[in-house]
Amino acid sequence: MAKRFVGRARTADPVRLDAPRPSTRHTVRARVDKPDVGTRVIRLPDATQAIFVDHSGRRGRRLRWTLYAVSLLVLALLALLWLTQVVEIG
Amino acid sequence: MGTWRGGQRIGDTQHVVLPEPGRSRFSGRRWILAGIGTLVLANLLAIGAYANSRFAPDNEGEPGRQSGVPAAVREGGPVVDARDGRAVAHRVPDRTIVLTFDDGPDPLWTPQVLDVLHKHGVPATFFVLGSQTSRYPEFVERMVREGHEVGAHTFTHPDLAGLSGWRQRLELSQTRSAIAYAAGVTTPLLRLPYSSGVDSLDDKHWSVVRAAGGQDMVSVFDDTDSRDWARPGVDAIVRSSTPEDGHGAVVLMHDAGGDRSQTVAALDTFIPAMRAQGYRFTTVEGAFGGAAPGLAAGHASTGDQVRGGLLVWAVKIADGTGRLLWVLLLLVGTLTLARTLVLFGFALRHARRRRARTWSWGPEVNAPVTVIVPAYNEVKTIAAAVRSLATGTHPEVEVLVVDDESDDGTAEEVEALGLPNVRVVRVPGGGKAAALNAGVALARHDLLVMVDADTVVERDAIHRLVQPFADPAVGAVAGNVKVGNRRRIIGRWQHIEYVIGFNLDRRLYDTLHCMPTIPGALGGFRREAVLAAGGLSRATLAEDTDLTMAIHRAGFQVVYEETALARTEAPSTLPELWRQRYRWSYGTMQAMWRHRRALRERGASGRFGRRGLPFIALFSVVLPLLAPVLDIVAVYGVFFLDRVEALVAWLAVLVIQVITAVLAFRLDREPLRPLWALPFQQLVYRQVMYLVLVHAAATALTGGLLRWQHLRRSGEVAASAT
């Protein structure tokens, strides 16, 4: 499969190869009317959207790893503290 | 109908497809993290207790046998050098004063002592405590910077003779480490706690001196004791400190351990007076350095400083944790007491008002009522629930059972009853909120009552529940729900909690016009109020709390009718109780967050937001979240404080709860017998309740997903009703 560049990265994405996007380099650009803001459909807030829930899981992951790191650090310091006391009197 | 994944039915028709929950890898680690948190807290409390001398044995009596102490030491000078197997005592040269200060540093008195010494240009030797050095290292650093000498006075000020060898070594090494961190120096000087002149050295303390010599330390006693600890007055301190006949002396004073204003004043008099008699002032090393080499402070190694740093910060953090715990305890105690008093006052007033002969909601309400019963797989309980609703005393009741795609024959069970005023509608499964919304839409009447399918109501409950609607301002009414299955201890505990925690609280909330929840088990609504609130939302897991808050914000009154009684089936196992309360706690937090804008809105919404939400947040979330402090301090008290006092404090809290419980039971006309389970409730149930809340708060914080969980019904309440 031939390599292509996407941006600066080499890629072998078959989708991009099989269905390349039409180039707009030589096409004539026409003026398109802007959408009528006044009559645009209003997007109501989703009343059934569960509160607090982070479907991406990113928030939980960050908190968890922060907690792990802090726990590890505290445990290490605590172990070091006890170790230095034991070594001194041993 | 339903939502299918991988050939299996995973939810109802309106089920929102979410990621497969599975068993999170985090769920096991959560307990490990909780264990680590407990371990760290236990360590900090133990370090704090140690640094505060909780372990220190009672001190001194008369000197013991002295036959083992060499005469050369007993009759020698105040500096006893037992290093390298020696036993040498050195005297202070004539007309020489070595000022020594014990027990510091102290943030109030040490700087004043240092200022006086600086004013007169006099060096001194400070025998510091390791624990105090850890707390105030900056003063030890100042001592060294200003040319004074620092010696060790142990870490926690115990009588070393009463300690085992390893504890003695620990006391000395920890103090030297703390000094190393604070001032960057090592010291070979030691003063034993509770020591005085070398002539009173007995066999036990002589062994301590020799052991200290083994650690390369020289013990320093005194020639004159200022007795400033007794605060005998400035002149007496000066008199006691002054050596006789021009002899030299190591003078014992204190820069901590109480009010040292007399010491400071005496010092200011003593120094010029002794100088006038031709005395010079120096340090221990200055006076004895020639006779006993190696008394000068050395430069502390990096290892010593790191060890000292760990110790100093451990003590600082432990002290901070201890202070925080006491502040929180004070806060919890004050809030609990205030809440109890307010609860007593308002609940009694509420009960008196309602029981007065003149009390009335207005003209009797006989308007027709639709009772909506959402049901999902409730075959064990539905028949008793529907029968109790359909055969009540209210003139016209339509019971509308909304079957939420049950697959256990719930709908058929209701139809088989053949009651004329009962209607069953089957809706595509969408959860309780959707079923209730369908019920509201399909109800034939404007007065609505929502009842859980596991709840059995009294015959007159519906009639009594709708009486407050005589007042057109009332939009919703909370009924009085009791636990029906009380045979097991867990049921009894919940019964006590329902009577105290819910029903007594409701009287208070009713008086303050900020009722947070109309119970799903029995609640009356004006249809117009439900519609104004936007119906029941699926955004939270406590749809009853959410609806109640929305009704408040829509400008309707929400009241409590304590005579409308219902018995519900409470969870009968601890895991089920955990799941139920986990959902309630999480749902309440969701509802509060959803309605947070009420805090800054105007009108009825703002009134509820500013009066009700902070009250609910404080007493339903913050106070229960802080409740573990009570148990932590109780455990701490048992191990590190006076056990009797700790037990008395715990019993005092229990007495307050018993009084509250008795009041609540009396107001609810309940027999007091189940209250025998109250003390045991304090040992298991209360802890489970706050752990659940902590769990729910953690889930909210991490953005975790919590679903509706169907409780297993025993049918005990239904069986007792038939």
Distances (CA, A) of B168 to A3, A12, B193: 75, 72, 12
**Four-residue CA torsion sign, A75, A80, A83, A85:** negative
Contact in structure between B218 and B79 (CB atoms under 8 Å): yes
Lowest-confidence segment of B416-425, B606-615, B709-718 by average pLDDT: B709-718
- In this structure, is residue A50 part of a structural domain? no
User: Which residues from chain A sit within 8 angstroms of residue B45, using beta carbons?
Assistant: none
pLDDT attached to residue B654: 86
Q: What percent of chain B is predicted at pLDDT more than 90?
A: 60
Per-residue pLDDT band for A38 (boundaries 50, 70, 90) equals low
Contact in structure between B124 and B117 (CB atoms under 8 Å): yes
- Give the number of A-B residue pairs with CB atoms closer than 8 Å: 83
Give the integer Cα–Cα distance in Å for B538 and B429: 13
Q: Which fold has domain B71-300?
A: TIM Barrel (3.20.20)
Neighbours of B303 (CB within 10 A): 11
Whether pLDDT at B717 is above 70? no
- In this structure, is residue A80 part of a structural domain? yes
Q: Could you give the dihedral angle defined by the CA atoms of residues B45, B46, B47 and B48, in that order, rounded to the nearest 10 degrees?
A: 50
Q: Domains in chain A: how many in total? A: 1
Per-residue pLDDT band for B16 (boundaries 50, 70, 90) equals very low
Whether pLDDT at B215 is above 80? yes
Task: Considering only the beta carbons, identify the residue of A47, A67, A77 that sits closest to B310.
Answer: A77
Closest residue in A to B27 (Cα) is A64
Per-residue pLDDT band for B644 (boundaries 50, 70, 90) equals confident
7-66 in A: which are within 8 Å (CB) of B?
47-55, 57, 59-60, 63-64
Q: Between these two residues, B528 and B55, which has the higher pLDDT value?
A: B528
User: Which residues from chain A sit within 8 angstroms of residue B306, using beta carbons?
Assistant: 84
Whether pLDDT at B58 is above 60? no
For B664, phi then psi, to 5°, come to -60, -45
Predicted TM-score (pTM) above 0.95: no
Contact in structure between B76 and B91 (CB atoms under 8 Å): yes
- In this structure, is residue A74 part of a structural domain? yes
pLDDT attached to residue B53: 72
- In this structure, is residue A86 part of a structural domain? yes
Q: Catalytic one among B15, B90, B148, B254? A: B254
The DSSP result for B546-603, as a single string, is HHHHHHHHTT-EEEEEEEEEEEEPPP-SHHHHHHHHHHHHHHHHHHHHHTGGGGG--H
Whether pLDDT at B204 is above 80? yes
Per-residue pLDDT band for B198 (boundaries 50, 70, 90) equals confident
Per-residue pLDDT band for B62 (boundaries 50, 70, 90) equals low
Whether pLDDT at B206 is above 80? yes
pLDDT digits (tens, 9 = 90+) for B574-583: 889 998 999 8
pLDDT digits (tens, 9 = 90+) for B323-365: 999 999 999 989 888 888 888 899 889 999 999 999 899 999 9
Nearest-neighbour CA in chain A from B28: distance (Å): 13
**If you average pLDDT over residues B294-310, what whole number do you get?**
93
Task: Considering only the beta carbons, identify the residue of A47, A81, A89 that sits closest to B537.
Answer: A47
* B216 classed as catalytic: no
Per-residue pLDDT band for A4 (boundaries 50, 70, 90) equals low
Nearest-neighbour CA in chain A from B450: distance (Å): 21
C-alpha atoms less than 13 angstroms from C-alpha of B153 in its C-beta half-sphere: 26
In a 10 Å sphere around its CB, with 0-12 CB exposed, 13-18 middle and 19+ buried, how is residue B306 labelled? middle
CB contact under 8 A, A85 and B704: no
Per-residue pLDDT band for B174 (boundaries 50, 70, 90) equals very high
User: Which residues from chain A sit within 8 angstroms of residue B703, using beta carbons?
Assistant: 52-55, 57, 59-60
Nearest-neighbour CA in chain A from B538: distance (Å): 5
User: Which residues from chain B sit within 8 angstroms of residue A71, using beta carbons?
Assistant: 33, 36-37
8-state DSSP, B541? S
Whether pLDDT at B370 is above 90? yes
Q: Among residues B669, B649, B667, B671, which one has the least CA distance to residue B344?
A: B667
**If you average pLDDT over residues B221-233, what whole number do you get?**
93
Domain around A65: 61-90
CB contact under 8 A, B702 and A77: no
Whether pLDDT at B626 is above 80? yes
Closest residue in A to B30 (Cα) is A64
CATH class as words, domain B330-721: alpha beta
* Both tokens assigned to B176: 């030297």
Whether pLDDT at B512 is above 70? yes
Q: Between these two residues, A16 and B265, which has the higher pLDDT value?
A: B265
Per-residue pLDDT band for A3 (boundaries 50, 70, 90) equals low
Ramachandran assignment for B689, one of left (phi > 0), alpha (psi -120 to 50 degrees), beta (any other): alpha
Specify the length of chain B in residues. 722
CB contact under 8 A, A89 and B16: no
Q: Catalytic one among B12, B81, B90, B102? A: B102
Whether pLDDT at B133 is above 80? yes
Contact in structure between B432 and B502 (CB atoms under 8 Å): no
* B102 classed as catalytic: yes
Task: Considering only the beta carbons, identify the residue of A47, A60, A88 that sits closest to B702.
Answer: A60
**Four-residue CA torsion sign, B475, B480, B485, B491:** positive
Lowest-confidence segment of A18-22, B33-37, B206-210 by average pLDDT: A18-22
**If you average pLDDT over residues B96-125, what whole number do you get?**
96
Distances (CA, A) of B432 to B232, B399, B415, B530, B549: 79, 17, 20, 15, 18
Nearest-neighbour CA in chain A from B621: distance (Å): 16
pLDDT attached to residue B548: 96
Rounded to 5 degrees, what angle do the CA atoms B345, B351, B357 make?
135
pLDDT averaged over every residue in chain B? 89
CB contact under 8 A, B40 and A59: no
Where along chain B do the CATH 3.20.20.370 domains lie? 71-300
Per-residue pLDDT band for B24 (boundaries 50, 70, 90) equals low
The answer to whether residue A80 neighbours chain B at the CB level (below 8 Å) is: yes
CB contact under 8 A, B311 and A81: yes
CB contact under 8 A, A59 and B705: no
- In this structure, is residue A29 part of a structural domain? no
- Most B CBs within 10 A among A53, A65, A73, A87, hence the mutation to make, goes to A53
* Both tokens assigned to B37: 């948190």
Lowest-confidence segment of B50-64, B138-152, B376-390, B648-662 by average pLDDT: B50-64
The helix-helix angle for B165-183 and B137-145 (nearest 10°) equals 70
Per-residue pLDDT band for B21 (boundaries 50, 70, 90) equals very low
Residue B572 corresponds to which amino acid? S
> Three-state SS for B451?
strand
Q: Among residues B288, B255, B456, B494, which one has the least CA distance to residue B371?
A: B456
Where along chain B do the CATH 3.90.550.10 domains lie? 330-721
Give the integer Cα–Cα distance in Å for B388 and B462: 10
Neighbours of B190 (CB within 10 A): 26
